[in-house]
Amino acid sequence: MSEHKNILKKIRYVKSEYLDESLLKEYYEYIKNNGIEEVEDVSEADLIISFGGDGTTLVAAKEALKKNVPVMAVNMGSLGYLAEISPENLVEMLKRYQNGQYVVDERAFLEVKYNKKTYYALNELVLLKGGMMSHLIQVEVYENNTFVNEYRADGVIVATPTGSTAYSLSAGGSIVYPGLKAVTITPLSPQGLTARPIIIDGGNTLSFKVFSRDNDAHLNLDGSICIKVKQDDTINARLSNKKVKIIKSGKNDYYSILRQKLKWGDAIIK
């Protein structure tokens, strides 16, 4: 639990387009009464607040890359692995943040170098075929220039520990504790039955060679950036030293969130 108190004067908002503003009436009254203002430029902000689900939190995390400012994620979506604060508890959480009664959950980005450009993904990069009618792609994976495997599949997911409970999990990947410096390689609908997910050291550099019979392969980052990939493109990835700081109450530990979201222990048939 942090003991660092924070002066809160300016907030940058990141909102879902489906946001129900009526749920935030108490919050808006609080910031108005306390002279806290909204800013558009994150460089001026003391805090970023995201209103939505985990997808909105991903957008807020990218904003935090521009300035080392923490993110408070309010769950107004469905799952909410990252966004744990409810709208009705937001005012209380703001007070706790100002008084230093909070926990900082640091999550590492995946640093992706595509040709000469660098991108950051909090969840995953996906190398995948272009569409339903496209042929399977062939992806060669190397770790520090050592050959790992060749996948003939719909695609390959490379997930951070944060992303291990997202797309990778739905494709059969393992859940990875957020504090581990590791990444998961998960094949997406592979042709061979022996292709299985593997967890590797996130400090090592992964590189990829992608082959597509119909020239229809793509690089997707967190579902928000999609780039058509050519056979001679250079693609590298490793876990970055850059992290986003997510403000949490500390009332729920990681495993309690998993039990709640994944319904661990619930009866299958009632």
Q: What is the 3-state secondary structure (H, E, C) of the chain?
A: CECCCCCCCEEEEEECCCCCHHHHHHHHHHHHHCCCEECCCHHHCCEEEEEECHHHHHHHHHHHCCCCCCEEEEECCCCCCCCCECHHHHHHHHHHHHCCCEEEEEEEEEEEEECCEEEEECCEEEEEECCCCCCCEEEEEEECCEEEEEEEEEEEEEECCHHHHCHHHHCCCCCCCCCCCEEEEEEEEECCCCCCCEEEECCCCEEEEEEECCCCEEEEECCCEEEEECCCCCEEEEEEEEEEEEEECCCCCHHHHHHHHHCCCCCCCC
Neighbours of 135 (CB within 10 A): 14
- Rounded to whole angstroms, the Cα distance separating 42 from 68 reads 10
Angle (deg, nearest 10), helices 25-33 and 90-98? 30
pLDDT score for 133: 72
Domains and CATH numbers, the chain: 10-102+249-262 (3.40.50.10330), 109-241 (2.60.200.30)
pLDDT score for 264: 83
Measured in residues, the chain has a length of: 270
Q: What type of residue sits at position 24?
A: L
Both tokens of 163, joined, read: 């992303």
Q: What type of residue sits at position 42?
A: V
Residue whose C-alpha is closest to residue 184's, from 173, 172, 196, 171: 173
Is-contact 55 79, C-beta < 8 A?
no
Residue whose C-alpha is closest to residue 257's, from 109, 82, 94: 82
- Rounded to whole angstroms, the Cα distance separating 178 from 188 reads 22
Active site residues: 54
Q: Give the pLDDT of the chain (270 residues) as one tens digit per residue.
A: 666 789 999 999 999 988 889 999 999 999 999 999 999 999 999 999 999 999 999 999 999 999 999 999 999 876 678 888 999 999 999 999 999 999 999 999 999 999 999 999 999 999 999 877 778 999 999 999 999 999 999 999 999 999 999 999 999 999 999 999 999 999 999 998 889 999 999 999 999 999 998 889 999 999 999 999 999 999 999 999 999 999 998 888 888 888 888 888 765 555
56 exposed, middle or buried (CB, 10 Å; 0-12, 13-18, 19+)?
Answer: buried
Global pTM exceeds 0.85: yes
pLDDT score for 269: 57
- Rounded to whole angstroms, the Cα distance separating 228 from 134 reads 13
pLDDT score for 270: 54
